[in-house]
Amino acid sequence: MELDRIKILIDKYFEGVTSLDEEQEIAAYFAENDDIPEQFKSAKAMFEAFGKLRSEKPSAEVHTPSMSDRRIGGITLNRRWWAGVAASVVLIMGVSIAILNSRNADVERVNATTPEFVCHINGVRVEDEQLAYAEMDRILANVSNDIQVAMVEIDNITNYTKMR
Amino acid sequence: MKTETEYIEFVSALHDTVYRLARSIIGDDVEAEDVVQDVFERVWRARDAVLESDYPRAYVCRMVRNLAIDRQRAKQRAQSFSLSERSAGVSDGEGYINTKDMATLTIKLIEQLPERQRLTIHMRDVEGYEIEEIAHILESDEASVRVNLSRARKSVREQLIKIMSYGVG
């Protein structure tokens, strides 16, 4: 009885009129039965080939752009990259302030009119120490926030990858 | 615009399909991976149009098809894979072909189908797409898709039957 039905389904299959459910029924029959009539062997080989093709996957993980990316000049940059850049900028600023303070101390000895504190933030000369530290706090808070957002998004992507 | 979650779910689910479809057209793993990267960059840029279209999967697959065909043409892949060459590749030297080899042989036969037939049988029998979606990918109508599907399946079957009847070796 099953054979009669499978024969009808296979005939329909080669006419291109089976539904996806009917095609799954044929696939299940071939997967469960090794001993099949000679006339079905070519169809079985085809279904096995489809299964083999279906298991093919790319060897390398391909980056899929998302909202957590930013594009500049055609290059995609993610937030982790930005967090790295921001952290580097802050580090350079900190070192610059230390060097400038040191130089200022030397200059002070020579010229008493030089301000006690001088630094450059984004190319702007700042002599007010409180203002400079307030600006540093603001930049660090932004970097911290960016890193937190990036980590949440990385967690989301990791969860998706695990679910796949 | 839909949410990022919906977007990520959408592209994640399509990842392997895009690769296989590109590979079925180009026949090269590395080139296919390049197409995947290229396609997802384009999908991202056109995400609103893609996600809001009636057939988002078909929209992406059409992108894959166009990009892969462009690459294939640029590469000028010239292969003439004769039946005798394929058969030699699956013979065990005694004229016997086992079913595992038959599956490998079948894949090679599919690769040699005319482009529309190859894409149709791939999208239906490998990826399990509805006829309606395949019609959108191929910018065709459902009746033509069914005709191509039937021809592709029969063509592969006929060649398999010939090989099984005459044996190899």
Domain ranges of chain B: 4-75, 83-166
Q: What value does the mean pLDDT take over residues A127-140? A: 78
Please report the pLDDT score of residue B88 as a whole number. 43
Tell me: pLDDT of A91 over 80. no
Share of residues in chain B with pLDDT > 70 (%):
82
B142 or B30, which is more confident: B142
Helix locations, B27-167, DSSP H: 29-45, 47-52, 56-75, 83-90, 99-111, 115-121, 131-137, 142-166
Contact list in B for residue A43 (CB cut-off 8 A) is 157
Which pLDDT tens digit goes with each residue over B116-157?
999 999 999 999 999 999 999 999 999 999 999 999 999 999
Contact list in B for residue A63 (CB cut-off 8 A) is 37, 40
Please report the pLDDT score of residue A109 as a whole number. 62
Pairwise CB contact (< 8 Å): A64 & B12? yes
Please report the pLDDT score of residue A72 as a whole number. 40
Please report the pLDDT score of residue A128 as a whole number. 79
- What is the rounded CA–CA span in Å between residue B69 and residue B160? 27
Q: In CATH, what number does B4-75 get?
A: 1.10.1740
Contact list in B for residue A64 (CB cut-off 8 A) is 8, 11-12, 15, 40, 44
Pairwise CB contact (< 8 Å): A16 & B146? yes
- What is the rounded CA–CA span in Å between residue B159 and residue B151? 12
- The residue assigned the tokens 């089976």 is A18
Tell me: pLDDT of B13 over 80. yes
Q: What value does the mean pLDDT take over residues B52-67? A: 93
Sequence letter at residue A69: D
Please report the pLDDT score of residue B95 as a whole number. 46
Contact list in A for residue B8 (CB cut-off 8 A) is 64, 66, 156-157, 160
Please report the pLDDT score of residue B5 as a whole number. 81
Tell me: pLDDT of A75 over 50. no
Q: What value does the mean pLDDT take over residues A36-64? A: 88
Q: What value does the mean pLDDT take over residues B25-43? A: 90
> Among A13, A45, A53, whose Cβ lies nearest the Cβ of B160?
A45
Contact list in B for residue A20 (CB cut-off 8 A) is 128, 130
Tell me: pLDDT of B83 over 60. no
- CA dist B53 → B3, B38, B64, B127 (Å): 15, 20, 16, 20
Share of residues in chain B with pLDDT > 90 (%):
56
Q: What value does the mean pLDDT take over residues A28-54? A: 94
Give the chain B residue whose CA is nearest to the CA of A57.
Answer: B16
DSSP designation for A69: E
- Residue of B45, B48, B106 to mutate for A, most A C-beta atoms under 10 A: B106
Question: Mean pLDDT of all residues in chain A?
Answer: 76
> How would you classify residue A83: left for phi > 0, otherwise alpha for psi between -120 and 50, otherwise beta?
alpha
Please report the pLDDT score of residue A25 as a whole number. 96
Q: Which of residues 132-151 of A touch B (CB under 8 A)?
A: none
Give the chain B residue whose CA is nearest to the CA of A54.
Answer: B126
Tell me: pLDDT of B78 over 80. no
May I ask the CATH class of domain B83-166? mainly alpha
> How would you classify residue B93: left for phi > 0, otherwise alpha for psi between -120 and 50, otherwise beta?
left
